[in-house]
Amino acid sequence: MDSTTISHLSKGSISSSIGDSWELEGTLPLSDRLKAFKSSQFDPDSYITHKCHTMSEKEIKHLCSYLVELKKASAEEMRKSVYANYSAFIRTSREISDLEGQLLSMRNLLSTQAALVHGLSEGIRVDSLSAGYEDFTNEDTSVENRELSEIENWLGEFQDTLEVLLAERRVDEALAALDEGERVMDQANDRHKLNPAAFLSMQITITEQRQKLIDQLAETMCQPSTRVVELRSAVVALKKLGDGPRSHTLLLNAHSQKLQSNMQGLSSTSTSFGLAYIAALSQLVFSSIAQATSDSLAVFSEETAYTSELVTWAVKQTEAFAHLLKRHVLASSAASGSMRVAAECVHICLGHCSLLEARGLCLSPVLLRLFRPFLEQALSSNLKRIEQSSAALAAADDWLLLYPPVGARLMGSTSSLNAVSAYQSKLSSSAHRFNSMVQELFEDVAPLDTLQLDGPALEGVLLAFNSYVNLLMNAVPGSVENEENLEGSGNKLVRMAETEAQQLALLANASLLADELLPRAAMKLLPLQQGQQANRTMETPKRSADRGNRVPEPSREWKKRLQRSVEQLRDSFCRLHALDLIFTEDGDTRLNAHMYTSMDGNIDPEWFPSPILQEFFAKLTTLANLATDIFVGRERFATILLMRLTETVILWLSDDQNFWAEIEEGPKPLGPLGLQQFYLDMEFVLLFASQGRYLSRHLHQVIKNIIGRAIDAVTATGVDPYSVLPEDDWFAEVAQIAIKMLTGKANFSNVEQDVTSPTQSVSAKSVSSIYSHGSESNFVHHYRE
């Protein structure tokens, strides 16, 4: 292998190892990835040279992207650390600011004391050396006196000029004069043109005038009538005079005074805390905070001590405003459950507060922390009001399905089709009330996404719906829930649903709310998922029709929980009608084994489904006809209802131990004729359930199992059941004829003249389909339409 190949392979292996190292480092925690940069001996040039010495261009780009990501992660980590310790940070910054002010005052005091000590020491030195001064020539004394006289004259003029400038409030010129005075004083002191007494006098004069200017500026800033421009100029001047902390504090106090004055003026024009007044008040408060922020940043830039004081002041003003709203608006709204007023109030405040974020001031967490308990209380009170109002209407509800009353509030759907379908939904009066109140609740909660009330709202509505479904279950006559409530105390009264149409109306209320109205209303709380669903629909327009009615993933579990409550109501309905069919009013069983075991003593049985199965078929047919009118557009629910009712009856028969004990071990076991009748009854159930499209696989299997069990019971007696049973087609034909006769669709015009049998003829009393086993083939053939 040549050297070129070796070099190429070595570079490839190095590149691969470098790439692997970056991937390995990318999986490490942020603290471990930053260790190399935290060292005090870190050298950027050495780091780059070490890393990039053997790298290709692609690997260098990879390193750059890695460092950029690391920088972003480090910045995010620092931001989280600052927010986690922000209160301590503000407190420390405030203490540092106070300490700086105290150090400045101490420095001024020490300068004054040093000048005083210096003057005293110079005076003592002058006295001790007075003899030496006597030897000076008269010429030197005259020069010194002349220079001293000039400085004294200048000092007098300087003092007069400053007093005039201060009186006329010419701040900029006064500052320039003070600067000039300090410059002259320093020059004279450096050239030793001033004796200690003159220097001290000049220094005291400048200090006094400076203090007068400071006091004047402070007084100006405390005046409510001071304009914004004047206020900012005074702050700048005071900062130049070396009193920055005080100037910033006075700036914030001035804005506080103006805010209070404006709030008092606004309150005098309104007697109540209406939404218009709240909006005006909110705008006033946050605009004042915005103006104070602008003034602070314009003068003091982003110095840590001043920004910390600004944030503290803004939080204090926000808390004061929030407590004002809590006392006058939110407390009463929360107690009464007026979610609309509380939600709009908070929404207005959060809207104005969010405008400050562009200036780097985020006060929304302060409002959310103070407002959230009241909104949660308002939400709880509103949900309780929904339950109470629905219960009150359920006590007088006639369970008639009607369209919403004229002027009723439509659901706030973005689709006009959804709005129309909501308007055309037929519910009873209590369900309409429940639906409208839930719609209003969701519309009020939706704008408050930052408070994250969607979870409590959905959970609360679910509990309210469960409570309403319990009321509907109590309205079912003879339900277990109704009996339990009657035994208890303090139970809610509800009007009974006596007729089958009224009982189906109960199911229509619950199913329409759970399947359509409430999930569609919950979409208002999921704007992000709606946007994602819209994007997916745009990407796949062919499937938009299927996805238009889908509920976003976060609410699927919630919808399933709603449907479980509906299933409980449906089970209560099925249990009621199954018990009415199986038992008499005295508690005796109508669907018993005796009706089959007693048939073998009958010489001429009538081959027709048993009366109880005929009644079962009639009940299911009636319910199916009623469901067609009630569950318009929701045929699947009606089908499942009939399916569950059929299963309830047949499963009871399958699990009835007394029935099977008498069939299998009774004194009079099941015979061939009883088996044939039982087989016919079960085939009859299979046929009408199949034609009605509510035959489930489970029901089909259960029926086949109990038929097999009955055949085994006959086999146990020593009789071959297959030798006495007709063909399967016979049962299907007889069951079909029975369905036609029971529904009034049979044709008997040619029965008497056409029917012949090798063993027995059938007369015109075929209305009850009386025929023997030996004549069934011709009879069935001529009974066909």
Of residues 359 and 729, more confidently modeled:
729
The answer to whether residues 543 and 465 touch, using CB atoms and an 8 Å cutoff, is no
Are residue 574 and residue 607 in the same domain, yes or no?
no
Domain end (from 543, 564, 580): 580
Are residue 698 and residue 651 in the same domain, yes or no?
yes
Distance of alpha carbon 71 from alpha carbon 66, whole angstroms = 9
Are residue 575 and residue 431 in the same domain, yes or no?
yes
Q: Per-residue pLDDT for 652 more than 90?
A: yes
Are residue 370 and residue 505 in the same domain, yes or no?
no
* pLDDT tens-digit series, residues 86-134: 667 677 767 786 787 778 778 777 777 776 776 676 555 545 444 444 4
The answer to whether residues 737 and 780 touch, using CB atoms and an 8 Å cutoff, is yes
Least confident segment among 112-121, 246-255, 308-317, 579-588: 112-121
Instruction: Report the pLDDT value the prediction gives residue 744, as an integer from 0 to 100.
Output: 86
Percent of the chain with pLDDT over 90: 25
Instruction: Report the pLDDT value the prediction gives residue 169, as an integer from 0 to 100.
Output: 62
Distance of alpha carbon 626 from alpha carbon 507, whole angstroms = 12
282 part of a folded domain: yes
34 part of a folded domain: no
Are residue 569 and residue 679 in the same domain, yes or no?
no
The rounded mean pLDDT for the chain is 75
Nearest Cα residue to 582 out of 608, 616, 621: 616
* pTM of the full structure: 0.66
Are residue 462 and residue 561 in the same domain, yes or no?
yes
Are residue 336 and residue 436 in the same domain, yes or no?
no
Q: Per-residue pLDDT for 198 more than 70?
A: no
Are residue 568 and residue 696 in the same domain, yes or no?
no
The answer to whether residues 666 and 592 touch, using CB atoms and an 8 Å cutoff, is no
Q: What is the DSSP string of 242-269?
A: T-HHHHHHHHHHHHHHHHHHHHHHHHTT
291 part of a folded domain: yes
* pLDDT tens-digit series, residues 654-690: 999 999 999 988 888 888 899 999 999 999 999 999 9
Q: What is the mean pLDDT of residues 365-369?
A: 86
HEC per residue, 263-328: HHHHHCCCCCCCHHHHHHHHHHHHHHHHHHHHHHHHHHCCCHHHHHHHHHHHHHHHHHHHHHHHHH
CA dihedral 292, 298, 300, 303 (to 10 degrees): 90
174 part of a folded domain: no
Are residue 344 and residue 447 in the same domain, yes or no?
no
775 part of a folded domain: no
Instruction: Report the pLDDT value the prediction gives residue 774, as an integer from 0 to 100.
Output: 35
Least confident segment among 271-275, 321-325, 447-451: 271-275
Instruction: Report the pLDDT value the prediction gives residue 126, as an integer from 0 to 100.
Output: 47
In the block, tokens 């009940």 appear at 619
Of residues 747 and 732, more confidently modeled:
732
159 part of a folded domain: no
* pLDDT tens-digit series, residues 150-189: 666 666 666 666 666 666 566 666 666 676 666 766 666 6
How many helices (H) and strands (E) are present in the chain, helices listed first?
Answer: 36, 0
C-beta neighbour count of 58 within 10 angstroms: 10
Instruction: Report the pLDDT value the prediction gives residue 270, as an integer from 0 to 100.
Output: 63
52 part of a folded domain: no
Are residue 603 and residue 734 in the same domain, yes or no?
yes
Whole-number CA gyration radius for the chain? 48
Q: What is the mean pLDDT of residues 369-388?
A: 86
In the block, tokens 């009623």 appear at 626
Domain count, the chain: 3
Q: What is the mean pLDDT of residues 334-346?
A: 75
Q: How far is CA 245 from CA 78, 250, 532, in A?
A: 27, 9, 51
Least confident segment among 29-38, 475-484, 759-768: 759-768
Tokens of 402: 């009607």
The answer to whether residues 196 and 122 touch, using CB atoms and an 8 Å cutoff, is yes
Least confident segment among 16-25, 602-611, 761-770: 761-770
Query: What domain range is 329 assigned to?
Result: 243-395
Are residue 611 and residue 568 in the same domain, yes or no?
no
Q: Per-residue pLDDT for 621 more than 90?
A: yes
44 part of a folded domain: no
Distance of alpha carbon 755 from alpha carbon 661, whole angstroms = 41
* pLDDT tens-digit series, residues 348-359: 888 888 888 888
Are residue 329 and residue 272 in the same domain, yes or no?
yes
Nearest Cα residue to 373 out of 408, 333, 400: 333
Domain end (from 580, 613, 642): 580
Burial, 349: exposed, middle or buried (Cβ in 10 Å; 0-12, 13-18, 19+)? buried
Domain end (from 352, 380, 395): 395
- Give residue 739's pLDDT band: very low, low, confident or very high (50, 70, 90): very high
